[in-house]
Chains A and B, each alone.
Chain A
Amino acid sequence: MKFAKALASATILAACTFGSASAADLVVGFSQIGSESGWRAAETTLTKQQAQERGIDLKFADAQQKQENQIKALRSFIAQGVNAILLAPVVATGWDEVLQEAKDAEIPVILLDRTVDASDDLYMTAVTSDLVHEGNVAGKWLADTVAGKPCNIVELQGTTGSSPAIDRKKGFEQALSGHDNLKIVRSQTGDFTRTKGKEVMESFLKAEDGGKNICALYAHNDDMAVGAIQAIKEAGLKPGTDILVVSIDAVPDIFQAMAAGEANATVELTPNMAGPAFDALAAFQKDGTMPPKWIQTESKLYTQADDPMKIYEAKKGLGY
Chain B
Amino acid sequence: MTAILKGYALRLLPQIIALAAILLMVSFVFPGFFRLEIQNGRLYGSLIDILNRGAPVVLLAIGMTVVIATKGIDLSVGAVMAICGAVAASSITSGHSLAMTLVITLGTGILCGLWNGVLVALLDIQPIIATLVLMVAGRGIAQLVTEGAILTFNDPGLIFLGSGSFAWLPLPVIIWLVFGILVALIVRKTALGMLIEAIGINRQASTLSGVLTPVLLIAAYMLSGLCAAIAGTIAAADIKGADANNAGLWLELDAILAVVIGGTSLLGGRFSIAASVLGAIIIQSINTGILLSGFPPEFNLIIKAAIIVFILVLQSPPVRNAFTFVALLRTSRKPTERQAR
Q: A: which residues have CB within 8 A of B?
A: 1-4, 35-38, 41, 157, 160-161, 186-189, 191-195, 198-200, 202-204, 206-207, 223, 226-227, 230, 234-236, 253, 319-320
Contact = CB atoms under 8 A, between A and B. Distances in A.
B43 to A, nearest CB: 13
Contacts of B245: 36-37
Given A230-B163, A230-B239, A206 B292 contact: yes
B140 interface: yes
Of the four ranges (under 10, 10 to 19, 20 to 34, 35 or more), the interface on chain B belongs to 35 or more
A294 to B, nearest CB: 29
Given A191-B246, A195-B247, A206-B46, A38 B235 contact: no
18 contacts: A1-B137, A1-B139, A1-B141, A2-B137, A3-B140, A41-B148, A161-B298, A188-B297, A189-B300, A191-B246, A195-B243, A203-B292, A206-B45, A223-B150, A230-B239, A235-B44, A236-B39, A253-B150
Which of B32, B150, B249, B288 is most buried by chain A, counting CB atoms within 10 A of its CB? B150
Contact of B296 (A2, A187, A191, A319): A187
A203 B291 CA distance: 6
Contacts of A200: 291
B240 A230 contact: yes
Contact of A227 (B139, B148, B239, B292): B239
Contacts of A230: 163, 239-240
B155 interface: no
Given A207-B294, A227-B239, A230-B163, A38 B148 contact: yes
Given A41-B149, A199-B53, A206-B49, A1 B291 contact: no
Contact of A198 (B148, B238, B247, B298): B238
A230 to B, nearest CB: 7
Interface of B: 30, 32, 39-40, 44-46, 49, 53, 136-137, 139-141, 143-144, 147-150, 152, 163, 235, 238-241, 243, 245-247, 249, 287-288, 291-292, 294, 296-298, 300
Contact of B149 (A2, A38, A191, A207): A38
A125 B254 CA distance: 44
Contacts, number: 92
Nearest first, the 6 A-B pairs at minimum CB distance are: A1-B140, A203-B291, A189-B297, A194-B239, A193-B246, A35-B148
A320 B149 contact: yes
A187 B150 CA distance: 25
Given A41-B149, A160-B297, A194-B246, 11 more contacts: A2-B140, A38-B150, A187-B297, A189-B297, A194-B150, A198-B239, A199-B53, A206-B46, A253-B152, A319-B148, A319-B149
Contacts of B247: 195
A205 B300 CA distance: 19
A305 B245 CA distance: 32
Contacts of A194: 150, 239, 241, 243, 246
Nearest to A4: B140
